[in-house]
A and B are shown apart, each in its own frame.
Chain A
Amino acid sequence: MEKREKKARKVSVPYDRPPAERRSTRSNTQSMKLRAQVEQVQSEKVVEKPSEFSLEVPDPCACTAADLILNPEFRSRRMDRSLEENLLAFLDTSGNVDPDESLEDKLAFLEATHAMCVVPTVAHVPTPKICQAILRFIQDCHSVGLTMHSFQILTDLERRHPRVAIREEMSSDLSHKLLELVVNPRVWSPVEESCIQMSEPDWQLATVSPVSYNLFVLVDTIAKRLRGSEKPGRRKPASESMRCIGKSVVVLTQFLMLQHLMSLIQTDFLCRMKMFDSSSECKNFTPVQESFIYRLLSSCSQQEKKSFLMNLNTIMDPTVLGEQEEGSEDCNSTLCCTKPFNNQATYIGNNQYSTTAALLGTLRDFAQLASSVLVLIMKVDHLNHEFCGTGATSTRRSRFLFDNLLDICSTSRSLDAYLKAVSEPNAKLRFVVDYFINLAPKPVVKRLVDCNPTEYMENLLSCFTDQKILRAVVKVFKEEETLPTLLSHAFQAFLLLHRQQEDNATEQTKGNHQERRTAICKAMAIAMNNLQAIERLEKILPIVEQALFVAGRISCS
């Protein structure tokens, strides 16, 4: 009896102690593990082998993210196995049932990872296990605090240890810069993992998390949620408040994961594109073919590609966004529920605050990301098509993705949404021209196919000044707003391109540029007026009105 009492006294914990302290055995194990590792290092006198990326630079912290990406002269070193185990020991949950304690451990793990892999001058490259653990925190959607912290660490790690970078060196005769693509295979990337998964035939059968780091699966889940056909996820909160919080945290984490994947894919693609562009004489397409996005697209079937495009279209559907603007507040627009459902909720928001408007992960945020993905895909498709057209590669492909995009952009609203997402004026103008080439009648196609790319705008507008051709065009495009939308975006792209050309022009040629701009503006006004007249519309369309105003104002100035 006495013995039992003694035992009970030993394990009892005073009330004034936080729950996280109610652990001693596990901490001891962790501590002993850590100490053993250090002693091992001491006894073996391990000499760190210089990493192949350990180059002498003044200070990597002084570089911005862009510098690090474009200049791979950052100092890093391989993470020792013992250090990896030490870090992962934080997440050792054996004998731990308290969720608060587990949350605290995870936050401590993130801080330790940040201290080892981001802060030091010569930082450790995180191992796949470390990265996967951080991603798991995001996928588990436990709390906003943990999710945001994990996302921040992932972003910092991506900046500190980019997988792909461009190294610039001066040529031996110092006449020009030489670019070299540097791929750090030690840096683990979730997109790489997705590429491997995609190449396996049964990847779709794998366990699907609501926040998968497979781009295709993630986009599919988000689209299903928006369509309202989402299957219940792994987390099944019991009460209504739990359901609301659970759902809103899932929405936030889905957004963050999509943003992270997009950032990885874009960085990778931009570096490889820079290499591709730099090879001026003999275009080497291999860097582009090795990019994440190219590999992802080439590893899936046409049906999967089609459904992927459809999912992207669902996410960026303007009608969905319009409904949101009307002001129906659901779980998407409020992040925090009125009361926390358990102790973890203290990480969701301060108890005294009722509801908080979602600052991230709104439908518009998702739409913006989806359109960025779509623009990137179309760029890859366009490059692939162009490169195949030159005969430099044997794998000739049809423009399957572009054809599908045309189907998606069949309405003027979706067309407008896509064109707004295309920020690069060249790509925007090219898309409008391709749109006409694919759908307009022959006379228009003939004018556009044979012309010089610098004269696209002139040739495009000439179709609208000729009444005969214009009638034929209007017959093809049944929706009255499609043509003005296309013309308006082409005009916007032209103005931006023209501005760039004017900035680069010499004083002598600037006059010519201004004349050309005025001429285009006048032609634009005529084209819009013709369009308005031929459609026999009683009320002038807003897009036409706006384009006429801008054209008039520029031509007058």
Chain B
Amino acid sequence: MEDDDTSWMKLDSGTPEAKFPHTTVVKKRNKLIMLDDLIREREKKKKQRSNLTLEVENDSSATDDEEDDPADKKAEIVKKMLKNLESESTAVDEIVSLLNWGEKVFFSQKPLANHITSEECLALCPDGIPSATGLLLSGLLRSLVISEGRCDEETTRWIYSQMIYSPSEHLEKAACQLLRDLLSLERPDRTPVCKLEWIPNFTEITEVFGSYGYRKATLMKESGSCSKQADANCLGVTTVDGLPTNADHVDGPPPNIRSFVAFLTSFFQTRNFYQTLSASEAEELLVTLVHCQLDRRMETISFLFKSCLKALVHYFTEEEWDHSCPRIAASFYSISSNYMNHLRAVKSLHAGDNRLCSLQRSVVIQLLGRRLNREIKSAADVVSIFKPIRTKKKDFDFLELVFQLTSADLYLWSEPEFERNVSVHADWLDFLKRCTLNIASSDERPHATKARNLASFLWQKFQFEKFQS
């Protein structure tokens, strides 16, 4: 028996099994340690119960912790609790951010003072003559150029630069008012009272947005929404380790943007005299203006943007508009990756105007089509989205339903064909009613009650309107 054992040991000395006796020893030792552990664990559980804290991992270091000061242990527990709370709050923040609109559109602005045209080069100001600034502020410049019937290129450029870049609010507003007056004043035969010998072209307009720190949506997507590198690129300065060298850079836009937008509104209304934009350039500007509104800092001047958008959509001729409207709608999807921002952009087009309404409808069907990866062309297509929806599934995405309902409402409410198409109207009402009835008010799935309330309100709204009309 002994021989057998020794021969077996010799035979398998090179194999792992040959270490068996050694492992057995270790196992035995482990067993002994585990008994100690059991006792300690028992004690630990007792303490855990008394403290009502989070679980403490049962690792080898636990034994050392036990020997530590109880105050340190408490501190660690509190730390862990805080960590858990933080992770929970970030999860909630993510949901809230999903439901909120807004993103950073303007980054570091360029030093604006460098752009102001010097008044020394003006024909207005030879030696010993009052400054052009004084003439502008006193109102005499207005009388002078109107009386002359023309405003030369240098003077117009100077007034424009004051409006766009001047840090003085007084100068900025006086320049803006003067330019707007010169653009809008007309003779009885509809010709301008004062001819501007220079008007900004597309490149010059986009340069202003650039100097205010505006970054195109597509670029933002590529480079990350607010990377320091992007900021530096915008500034046009060399970078060290991705940080801009200009230490005192300022986030744009400057307050002059209010005057710039107001000027653009007047400018777009004068296509008959100053046609400097092609249809494709106007399309690009429209998307830029909509994108700018996604920056929450622009909220206080949203009505200026609205007027500007209204003027811009009427800049197109009928033929141009028929061609451009779908193109503009197609480019809306690229302005943001957040659907709430898309909805906000769509809502910003509401200004009680036929063209804006048609653009809004085009954008909605584009957004819905891209989101659902299917072609949508009419009210019937929009309503057909909701036919296969079954809200009783456990993992049903109600947030998506809320988005779709809101989009469909925006489209159908202003679509004249929808009212006439009785069967589609009935299908829509039927879905809304089904939605209201199938989702319980106490449904605990995320966003279920939100979707239910929305569907309920929309049902009432469309039903009410049907009977009223």
Report which A residues bind B (CB closer than 8 A). 10, 13-18, 20-21, 23-25, 27-28, 30-31, 34-35, 37-38, 41-42, 45-46, 48, 59-62, 80, 82-83, 86, 108, 111-112, 114-116, 118-122, 144-145, 148, 151-152, 155-156, 159-160, 252, 321, 324-325, 335-336, 346, 349-350, 352-353, 356-362, 364, 368, 420, 488-489, 491-492, 495-496, 498-499, 503-504, 517, 542-543, 545-547, 549-550, 553-554, 557
Q: Give chain A nearest CB distance to B316 CB in angstroms.
A: 15
- Chain B residues touching A, majority SS: helix
Question: Per-position contact with A for B131-149: 1 when CB-CB < 8 Å, else 0?
Answer: 0001100111011101111
Chain B residues with CB under 8 Å of A16's CB are 91-92, 95, 446
The 8 A CB mask of B422-457 against A (1 = contact, 0 = none) is 000000000000001000011010111110110011
CB pair A152–B169 under 8 Å, yes or no, is no
Q: Are A503 and B188 in contact (CB under 8 A)?
A: yes
8 tightest A-B CB contacts, nearest first: A34-B460, A495-B143, A24-B441, A492-B143, A31-B456, A545-B130, A350-B296, A495-B147
B138–A546 touching, CB < 8 Å = yes
B352 within 8 Å of A (CB atoms): yes
B354 A353 Cβ-Cβ under 8 A: no
User: Given A31-B436, A86-B460, A364-B173 in contact, is the A23-B350 Cβ separation under 8 Å?
Assistant: no
Contact B303 A152 (CB under 8 A): yes
Q: In the complex, which residues of chain A have a beta carbon less than 8 angstroms from the beta carbon of B147?
A: 495-496, 498-499, 517, 554
A115–B357 alpha-carbon span in the complex (Å): 12
Q: Is the CB of B441 within 8 A of A38?
A: no
| Inter-chain contact total with CB atoms closer than 8 Å | 210
| Contact yes or no, A152 B306, CB < 8 A | yes
CB neighbours (8 Å) of B130 from chain A are: 542, 545-546, 549
- Quick one: closest A residue to B310, CB to CB? A64
Known A-B contacts A13-B444, A115-B413, A503-B188; the reply to A557 vs B148 at CB < 8 A is: yes
A422–B357 CA distance with the chains assembled, in angstroms: 38
B140 and A546 within 8 A (CB): yes
B contact residues around A17 at 8 Å (CB): 95, 444, 446-447
Which one of A34, A41, A356 lies within 8 Å of B456 (CB-CB)?
A34
User: Interface on chain A toward B: helix, strand, loop, or mixed SS?
Assistant: helix
| Most interface-central of B104, B306, B352 (chain A CB within 10 A) | B352
B369 on interface, CB distance cutoff 8 Å: no
Q: Mark B329-373, 1 if CB is under 8 A from A, else 0.
A: 000000000000000000100111110010000000000000000
User: Which of B3-11, B22-30, B250-258 is the contact stretch?
Assistant: B250-258
Contacts of B302 in A (CB 8 A): 148, 152
Q: Is B187 an interface residue when CB atoms closer than 8 A count as contact?
A: yes
Q: Is the CB of B463 within 8 A of A38?
A: yes
Q: How far is the CA of A349 from the CA of B251 in the complex (A)?
A: 14
Nearest chain A CB to B21 CB, angstrom units: 55
**How far is it, in angstroms, between the C-alpha of A14 and the C-alpha of B92 when the chains are bound?**
11
* Known contacts A346-B100, A546-B135: A357-B255 contact under CB 8 Å: yes
B357 contact set on A, CB distance < 8 A = 61, 119
Contact A350 B96 (CB under 8 A): no
Instruction: Assess whether B168 is interfacial by the CB under 8 Å rule.
Output: yes
A362, B140: Cβ atoms closer than 8 Å: no
Asked if A21 and B450 sit within 8 Å, CB to CB, the answer is yes
- The smallest beta-carbon distance between B358 and chain A, in angstroms, is 10
